[in-house]
Amino acid sequence: MAGAAHPTTMVAPRFTGGGGIERIEVAVPEPGPGELLLRVRANALCGSDRRRYLEGSPVTPGHEAAGVVVAAGPETSTPVGTPGVVYLMVFCGECRACRLGATNQCLDRRGDLGFNRDGGLGPYELVPERVFFPIDRDLSFSDATLLLDVMGTSRHAIARAMRLRPDVESVLIAGAGPVGLGLLAMARLLLGDGLPIVVTDIDGGRLELAARLGGTGVDAAAESPSDALRRLGVAGADLAFDASGRAEARRAALDALGSRGVLVCVGHGEGLALDVSADLIRLERAVLGSEYFPFGLLAENLALLRRRREYLGQIVTHRFPVAELERACETFFGGRSDTPVGKVVVEQ
């Protein structure tokens, strides 16, 4: 399907390393079979972009994009003008994992948008139709980005934990960045208002955001997670999530688990040393990994976002026009702001 006329070239940002950003003129790609061309309207920054921001990237960054279809290639069915969000992983749709719905574990992944394929910080983004998810027209593009890392990654991690521990009465979250805040919000929405949820961090602004979302913020430099839980009358957490990627935080979260407790590592980064007998066998505890989320979760999360948009929208604390991308990156990666920094969205 052809679309409305669009430019043949565009100016797109490149991370050059050391926090540098240059703008270069590149061709606007034309969609081929099974592909869509989006006019990007919003892209949320992510902690995993930090490495590209510091070390540079040969492709346009951005993997939490929302926009509008402006052209569609052959063998597609999405109408031009459809708004939607973009799933990061270009899954094959045919392998054993994809057939089971585990698209985040695709055995023949074709690429990752914003990592090794041009992403959503440019004006236009070329995406396979299979990774495009349509959204309601009355949903803002900035709010729509919440469907991705904030809601999707978090909900998947919670679901993985609850397969082993469905009787949840307490939750611990290490790290109050956007994913940690997403874990807090999704745990609150999915598990109930009365559940004790402890969130640890060393950033006072992020702990303030955690409190707004209904968590108990704990300064990790002043109090251990175990002591904080005991202060709330909880002997040991049922579920713990590490969104920090730090070995010290993971170890403290594991130590704070009760018997049959489950620790889910969501943040990439450092390791975790285990004494298998003492840490796992004796108390029947488990340590799991959780990577992104299955594409199928987007429909459930869209319904939830529509019901609780005001609550979830608190996680987006800053919106910058794309012309101020440098300022957006400095705010998000450097934490330099007069207000608490949650999710930072670049709009265009």
Burial (CB count within 10 angstroms: exposed 0-12, middle 13-18, buried 19+), residue 227:
exposed
Burial (CB count within 10 angstroms: exposed 0-12, middle 13-18, buried 19+), residue 291:
middle
Instruction: Kindly report the CATH number that applies to the domain delimited by 9-149+293-347.
Output: 3.90.180.10
Q: What does the DSSP 8-state code read for residue 276?
A: I
Burial (CB count within 10 angstroms: exposed 0-12, middle 13-18, buried 19+), residue 92:
middle
Domain ranges of the chain: 9-149+293-347, 151-289
Q: What is residue 1's predicted lDDT score, i.e. its pLDDT? A: 55
Q: What is residue 5's predicted lDDT score, i.e. its pLDDT? A: 75
Rounded Cα distance between 236 and 57, Å, is 43
∠307-310-313 over CA atoms, to 5°? 110
Alpha-helical regions (H) of 29-177: 50-55, 96-99, 141-144, 154-164
Q: Which residues of the chain have pLDDT under 70?
A: 1-4, 335-338
Q: What is residue 78's predicted lDDT score, i.e. its pLDDT? A: 98
Q: What is residue 347's predicted lDDT score, i.e. its pLDDT? A: 98
- Cβ pair 219, 187 in contact under 8 A: no
User: Which residue reads 């402006």 in tokens?
Assistant: 70
Q: Which fold has domain 151-289?
A: Rossmann fold (3.40.50)
- Cβ pair 201, 134 in contact under 8 A: no
∠199-287-256 over CA atoms, to 5°? 40
Q: What is residue 6's predicted lDDT score, i.e. its pLDDT? A: 87
- Cβ pair 286, 257 in contact under 8 A: no
- pLDDT digits over 91-115, tens only? 999 999 999 999 999 999 999 999 9
Tally of CA atoms within 13 A in the half-sphere of 183 that contains its CB: 31
- Cβ pair 201, 184 in contact under 8 A: no
- pLDDT digits over 262-276, tens only? 999 999 999 999 999
pTM: 0.95
Inter-CA distances, 315 with 143, 176, 179, Å: 10, 11, 10
Residue among 35, 117, 42, 44 at smallest CA distance from 70: 35
Radius of gyration of the chain (CA): 20
Q: What is residue 339's predicted lDDT score, i.e. its pLDDT? A: 82
Interstrand relation of 197-201 and 216-219 (parallel, antiparallel or unpaired)? parallel
Number of DSSP helices (H) and strands (E) in the chain, helices first: 11, 15
SS3 214: coil
Listing DSSP states for 120-153 in one string gives TTSSEEEEEGGGEEE--TTS-HHHHGGGTIIIII
- pLDDT digits over 44-99, tens only? 999 999 999 999 999 999 999 999 999 999 999 999 999 999 999 999 999 999 99
Counting residues of the chain whose pLDDT is more than 70, the rounded percentage is 98
Rounded Cα distance between 111 and 35, Å, is 14
Burial (CB count within 10 angstroms: exposed 0-12, middle 13-18, buried 19+), residue 283:
middle
- Cβ pair 314, 212 in contact under 8 A: yes
* Residue 190 neighbours by CB distance under 10 Å: 15
